[in-house]
Each structure stands twice: as structure tokens, then as C-alpha cells.
């Protein structure tokens, strides 16, 4: 019997790793802004003082001097190094304020994984390597030379060409797809391969492996009637939102969201933002709310508490995904 794809998929964002000591966007901004190199550069410091979206600053760097570009790039890379140092030292113990039942969370991952001939899919927008370090996850098509555990990582250079048939053989029962690349990955054309900034679609198109990843995500949703569990994604990436919106409107996609954001705030965020004239611009992404079939405003610690008790929330999530 040929392999088929499960109707259930997982997508994680920065809020997922936050449960293990990771940084949200505002914390990344602070890490970058506080970097001594940035503070010593009037131009780099000024850019961040006037823009709290570090990805926007990262994209704008090309319009500034070579030294400023180098400073911003270096500060961003050091912030991701700090992120990796933080999550690799995360341990489960009752003195840890972020401690949670990772076994219970693992059961959720297993539930999403394939059974029999059905393949499961775990997509992430995160560039941290928490899942690789803690659970041995690997991304198809990327070499496995990266050391994990608590040691320093080895760099991985992505292939300049993809042998699709060979690469497909590296897919497993819960393939881990890093849509925006990864810390520790080197682009096939040189430089780090983390998709950061406001030109993400172009960056993805220029990297054969990431382009294939993106096509997998799009094509799976187009299969129709998928359930997508989303943990910790802030819906700030338009190229991802476009796929979700199209999936909801054209392909029967249903969303199940785990987020500590209040649902009303979440809905308002999707609806738009004030225009320059002061009026409210309604975003097309407001229609994403129509596709939300389950919303769970809790942290993973609340869902999977460290005492390993089974919560009604965890049962509610599983029931929603089963039906």
C-alpha cells in the first residue's frame, strides 16, 4: 500500500521554544540592541531605536554602509547563539519556572506522527535547534553532521542541487521541516541560512532545499481537509499567512491554535492595523479567523504540568484533533 499523508499536521513558531527558555521577537530585539557592537555604532543603534521589528532592520541593512551591515549581521548571529545556549541548557526540574511534562508533550508529537502507511508532518518556522538537541530530530536533505546534546554544534552546508528521489527517502514517519532554515546551517551559496527579514520568499526561492520544503507545505494543504495544530506562531509572516488563508478558503483547512495570547487580541491582530490617516485598515488575513476550529489560550506548562498529571485541556486538544 503506498504511503499517504495524515490529515493532521503541526506548525510551530517562536512561542513554542519560549516554553523552553527561548526568546520572542521583542526579546531578540533587546539582545541585538544591547550588543556592544551595536551600541558603539550610531547608525546601527539608530536603526533599532526607530524600529522594534528586528527583522525589518535586518532587511533594511543593505541600504546602509558596509560596516553597519556587518555589525547588524553579527549582532543577529550572536543573538541566535545566545538563544541556542539558553535552550540547550534547559532542564526539567521543579526549580525551573518553565518546567513542563515533556513526556506528555511527546505523546502529542506521537499522536501527530504517522501510523501505518500514513506520514505525519512537523513544520517549524523556528531556527533554533531545540528539537534536534532534545529529541534527535533531523531535517530531510540536510546532512547529519551537526553534533547535538549539550556540546557545540557543527556547521551544515546545504546542497546546491536536490536529488528529490534520494532526498524523499530520508523522510520518516514525522518529518521535521524547517521552513525558514536553521541556526548552524550554511547556505549553498555561502553565509548563514536563516530566513530572516522582509524578503523571505526570495530567500527561500534561492535555496533549493528550502524551496522544496515550502512546496511540501503548500502541496500538503492543497490535498484538502487538513487539520493544522499551531503552537506559538504569531501570524506575522505574510507568505505563511497566504498559504493558510488559501487553505481555509479553497481546501477545507482547519486551524487549532495553542497560544498564550488572549483570543480576542489574537483576532484583532489578524484583522489589521491603523493606517497613516488614523483609520483602520482591515487585513485580508482577518479571514484566517474563520478557519480556527479550536483555540487554547494556555502555555505548554499549563497543558502538560511538571507533576505529570493529565489535564482536561490536554484531553480537550486531543479530542478536537481526533474528530
Three-class SS of 260-276 = CCCHHHHHHHHHEEECC
Locate 170 and state its grid cell: 530520508
pLDDT band at 223 (very low <50, low <70, confident <90, very high): very high
Kindly state whether residue 95 falls inside one of the protein's structural domains: no
Judge if 147 and 283 occupy the same domain. Answer: yes
Judge if 126 and 153 occupy the same domain. Answer: yes
**Domain residue limits at 56:** 23-89
Kindly state whether residue 233 falls inside one of the protein's structural domains: yes
Mean pLDDT of the chain: 83
Judge if 271 and 308 occupy the same domain. Answer: yes
Judge if 37 and 175 occupy the same domain. Answer: no
pLDDT band at 1 (very low <50, low <70, confident <90, very high): very low
Locate 10 and state its grid cell: 503541526
User: Max alpha carbon distance in the chain (Å)?
Assistant: 63
Judge if 46 and 180 occupy the same domain. Answer: no
Locate 27 and state its grid cell: 526579546
Judge if 109 and 256 occupy the same domain. Answer: yes
**CA count, 13 A, side-chain hemisphere, 65:** 8
Kindly state whether residue 94 falls inside one of the protein's structural domains: no
The Cα–Cα gap between 323 and 321 comes to 6
Kindly state whether residue 176 falls inside one of the protein's structural domains: yes
Please identify which residue in the block is written with the cell numbers 499536521: 9
Edge-to-edge strands, sheet with 192-194: 156-157, 181-186, 192-194
Where among 44, 63, 89 does a domain terminate?
Answer: 89
Where among 68, 89, 110 does a domain terminate?
Answer: 89
Task: Please give the average per-residue pLDDT across 245-273, as a whole number.
Answer: 92
Where among 65, 89, 113 does a domain terminate?
Answer: 89
Judge if 45 and 177 occupy the same domain. Answer: no
Judge if 157 and 30 occupy the same domain. Answer: no
Beta strands in 147-190 (DSSP E): 156-157, 174-178, 181-186
Kindly state whether residue 152 falls inside one of the protein's structural domains: yes
Report the DSSP pairing between strands 181-186 and 192-194: antiparallel
Task: Please give the average per-residue pLDDT across 107-112, as a whole number.
Answer: 87
pLDDT tens-digit map of 111-170: 887 655 677 889 999 888 888 888 888 888 776 555 555 555 666 777 777 766 666 666
The Cα–Cα gap between 114 and 310 comes to 23
Kindly state whether residue 313 falls inside one of the protein's structural domains: yes
Kindly state whether residue 14 falls inside one of the protein's structural domains: yes
Judge if 80 and 219 occupy the same domain. Answer: no
Judge if 264 and 306 occupy the same domain. Answer: yes
When divided into structural domains, the chain yields a total of 2
Judge if 39 and 148 occupy the same domain. Answer: no
CATH code of residue 210: 3.40.50.1220
pTM of the shown model? 0.86
Kindly state whether residue 245 falls inside one of the protein's structural domains: yes
* 3-state class (DSSP) for residue 229: strand
Judge if 132 and 145 occupy the same domain. Answer: yes
Amino acid at each position: 500500500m503506498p504511503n499517504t499523508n495524515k490529515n493532521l499536521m503541526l506548525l510551530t513558531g517562536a512561542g513554542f521554544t519560549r516554553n523552553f527558555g527561548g526568546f520572542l521577537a521583542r526579546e531578540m530585539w533587546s539582545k541585538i540592541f544591547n550588543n556592544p557592537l551595536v551600541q558603539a555604532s550610531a547608525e546601527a543603534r539608530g536603526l533599532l531605536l526607530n524600529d522594534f521589528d528586528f527583522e525589518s532592520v535586518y532587511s533594511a541593512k543593505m541600504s546602509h554602509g558596509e560596516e553597519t551591515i556587518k555589525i547588524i549581521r553579527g549582532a543577529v548571529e550572536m543573538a541566535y547563539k545566545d538563544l541556542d545556549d539558553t535552550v540547550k541548557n534547559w532542564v526539567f526540574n521543579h526549580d525551573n519556572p518553565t518546567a513542563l511534562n515533556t513526556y506528555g508533550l511527546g505523546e502529542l508529537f506521537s499522536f501527530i506522527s504517522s501510523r501505518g502507511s500514513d506520514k505525519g508532518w512537523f513544520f517549524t518556522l523556528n531556527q533554533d535547534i531545540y528539537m534536534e538537541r532534545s529529541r534527535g530530530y533531523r531535517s530531510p536533505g540536510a546532512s547529519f553532521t551537526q553534533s547535538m546534546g549539550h556540546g557545540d554544534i557543527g556547521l551544515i552546508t546545504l546542497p546546491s542541487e536536490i536529488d528529490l528521489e534520494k532526498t524523499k527517502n530520508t523522510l520518516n514517519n514525522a518529518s521535521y521541516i524547517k521552513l525558514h532554515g536553521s541556526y548552524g546551517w550554511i547556505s549553498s551559496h555561502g553565509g548563514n541560512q536563516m530566513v530572516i527579514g522582509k524578503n523571505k520568499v526570495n530567500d527561500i526561492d534561492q535555496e533549493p532545499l528550502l524551496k522544496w520544503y515550502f512546496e511540501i507545505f503548500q502541496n500538503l494543504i492543497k490535498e484538502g481537509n487538513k487539520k493544522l495544530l499551531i503552537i506559538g506562531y504569531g501570524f506575522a509572516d505574510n507568505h505563511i499567512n497566504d498559504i493558510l488563508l488559501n487553505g481555509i478558503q479553497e481546501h477545507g483547512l482547519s486551524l487549532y491554535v495553542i497560544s498564550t495570547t488572549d483570543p480576542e487580541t489574537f483576532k484583532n491582530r489578524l484583522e489589521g492595523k491603523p493606517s497613516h490617516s488614523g483609520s483602520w485598515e482591515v487585513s485580508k488575513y482577518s479571514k484566517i479567523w474563520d478557519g480556527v476550529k479550536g483555540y487554547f489560550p494556555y502555555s505548554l506548562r499549563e497543558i502538560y504540568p511538571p507533576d505529570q498529571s493529565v489535564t482536561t485541556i490536554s484531553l480537550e486538544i486531543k479530542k478536537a484533533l481526533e474528530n
